Amino acid sequence: MTALTQEEVATHTRTVVQGLEALRNEHNSILSGISSTLSSAHHPPDSNVIAEKAGILQRSLDQIELGLSEAQIMLALASHLQTVEAEKQKLRAQVRRLCQENAWLRDELASTQQKLQASEQHVAQLEEDKKHLEFMSTIKKYDADVQDSESSMEEKKDKSDDPVVDLFPDDDADDRAGLKRSGDFGSQASLAAMSPTPPSQFAQQVNAGYEIPARLRTLHNLVIQYASQGRYEVAVPLCKQALEDLEKTSGHDHPDVATMLNILALVYRDQNKYKEAANLLNDALAIREKTLGENHPAVAATLNNLAVLYGKRGKYKEAEPLCKRALEIREKVLGRDHPDVAKQLNNLALLCQNQGKYEEVERYYQRALEIYETKLGPDDPNVAKTKNNLASAYLKQGKYKEAEILYKQVLTRAHEREFGAIDGDNKPIWQVAEEREENKNKVKDSAPYGEYGGWHKAAKVDSPTVTTTLKNLGALYRRQGKYEAAETLEDCAIRSRKEAVNLVKDGMTPEGNRRLSASRDRLRRGSRESLNSTDFDAADDNETGKFSVRS
């Protein structure tokens, strides 16, 4: 039996209704005849049979009526379904129209978004152009002054003695363990050129030294300022724009491009973007080796920067040969007893220390210490830093006596610089601490340390090595069970920290500004010690094996 459609069911139902109505009329006619027969004859002989027939007809008539009622219901239901279907088709048409309108609106929205993006890009480009024009205007104001000052500097100093500011100046208030950022620029004969050095002078640069244009020096100072303020969103586009301009005017394989790559790499390193920094430094290294020669100080600077980056990432084995090659170049160019060689030795020692090569560590530190004491004098801050780092290497090997001697030497020298020669009434802090340790059982209520004098003032805020030495020697005293002596040194270290906080709080007062300015001047002078300076920091505790770069 095949399925019927709705229309076919309704048609058949109407036919059935007609048949049922005809059958009902026929039954009514028959039933009427039987009733008249029964009423005309009072007692016919077959009255029972006639009555039975009448009953059967009546029941059949009731069934016909029921069928007609159900047929009417089916017709009404069919009509309702047709109405629903019509509404459904109407709604479908509305949905199709809404879909078309929705698609049109999406197209309009996509077009509007594209226009908005194009407008934003145009605005961003205009902002970058504005910043670049402002930067170029700033450079033009300083170009003449930079040329005059550098020309006079050339007359007074030899080529190998020209100082160059580090990308990020020393922050002596930060005494975390690790390698300091190295200066990026190589040695230069003069800074008179206002524009990138022409490629035709490459051969002269290899022999006479790489000339850094005044514009790059000015850019370098601006990057220092922005980076020190944490404004990398300004420093990075500034470097990229300068790099793009240099590549357009001088080509990619140019020393100025390498210098710009180094600056940008150090900014990335300061943001912990090590992969980008490594790629830039490797590119700069290839350019400098190609244009300046493999034994140029600028190559040593890039090698050292790359070594520091690897050390920051914990790749000490990869960093060590780079650092050794930088050391060889500096020894060859500057001489074995140059302070820059000592700084490179410090970096190499720290790399070896993180690999547990303590014999090499001691040899490098001792040689660096000898160079500093010979060339810069016993009061140079690098002497105390190197002694502190060497003492930390001793501690890691369990050579506590040797470490204690070095710590005491640092504190004794700091005391002599601040208070003069040592005598019975003028004792360094470690002697005071040991006396308090010896007398702790004799005097129940020991006098506060403040009554022993203001020795803590010797640990100035611009000399964190002294503060670190106090903490390290205090930790060593605790290891030896000399708790009273340890507390004395730790109290002194805390006082030094408070002085640093007070200096920051006083920064807005005239006196605070003067002290802060003097401290910054010392930082700048320390960062100009050499063309390719590499340095280290004192550790924050006696665990100095941590390799870190300040960010």
| Rounded-to-integer distance, Cα 142 and Cα 149, Å | 11
Q: What is the pLDDT of residues 537-546, one digit of tens each?
A: 333 333 333 3
Q: Strand pairing of 178-179 and 536-537?
A: antiparallel
CB 361, CB 349: distance < 8 Å:
yes
Angle at 547 between CA 544 and CA 550, to 5 degrees: 105
* Whether this model's pTM surpasses 0.95: no
8 A C-beta contact, residue 93 and residue 199: no
Regions in the chain scoring below 70 on pLDDT: 1-2, 41-46, 139-211, 443-463, 496-551
pLDDT at 329: 95
**How many angstroms separate the CA atoms of 476 and 469, rounded?**
10
The pLDDT of residue 373 is 93
Q: What is the pLDDT of residue 25?
A: 87
What is the model's pLDDT at position 95? 94
The model's pLDDT over 486-506, given as tens digits with 9 standing for 90+, comes to: 898 888 888 766 665 565 455
What pLDDT is recorded for position 349? 95
- In this prediction, residue 172 carries a pLDDT of 31
Please compute Rg for the chain using Cα positions: 48
| DSSP conformation class of 184 | -
Q: Per the structure block, which two tokens stand in for 435? A: 């006396």
**Would you say 342 and 324 are in contact if contact means Cβ atoms under 8 Å apart?**
no
